[in-house]
Amino acid sequence: MLLGQWIDDKVTETSATINVEFASKSFRVEGKVVKVQLWDTAGQEQYRSVTRTYYRKAHGALLVYDVSNNDSFSRLEGWLKDVKEAPGNENTQILLIGNKSDKEDQREVSTERGIEFSRLNNINFMETSAKTGDNVDRAFQIILQDIHKLTEKFVKLESRRTKSSVQGRATVKLTTDSPAEETCCPF
């Protein structure tokens, strides 16, 4: 529902993600058009082994729990571990999202618990409501800006590394020999 709200920019009443859903979207970040591919993996335990393959080498991850369901919050530790330990995820940007903030009267997980979890795990945090659209765009903007900044940093580092390795090489000047002058008689 969170992904659908961001992609389609409309509120839809849908059931929870079953297995995996895919979407892509182009948007502007820091003046550049960027196309992102997004995989919405199910948070249910029975899909866990399948969903692990979808976040290998991920640039970013949104860890989403339901603020009206304490069980979803209690599973965060395992999901966070899976994301961080997946091959190629050493620099994955992670945003913790407490969704369904519109269900304040049914809240089981306080905002403070979300903040504390994010602080202990050194990840960003915010609350959203896919139903009302509250903070949905902002959540995607934050994670995508974090990914973009990290990508730009790696591009600059690679550029410097390549430049310095080229500058450190000796220069070889190639010339062609001019033909020897031909004479008819030796003197």
Is-contact 125 114, C-beta < 8 A?
A: yes
Write down the pLDDT at residue 3.
60
Q: Which CATH topology does 2-166 take?
A: Rossmann fold (3.40.50)
Residue-level pLDDT, tens digit, the chain, 187 residues: 566 655 566 555 555 554 466 677 787 777 878 777 777 666 556 555 656 666 778 888 889 999 999 999 999 999 899 889 888 888 889 999 999 999 999 999 999 999 999 999 999 999 999 899 999 989 988 988 888 888 887 777 666 666 555 555 554 444 455 555 544 444 3
Asked if residues 128 and 141 have their Cβ atoms less than 8 Å apart, the reply is no
- Give the pLDDT score at 38: 72
pLDDT value of position 121 = 97
DSSP for 65-122 reads: EETT-HHHHHTHHHHHHHHHHSTT-TT-EEEEEEE-TT-GGG--S-HHHHHHHHHHTT
Residue 24: strand pairing partners: 37
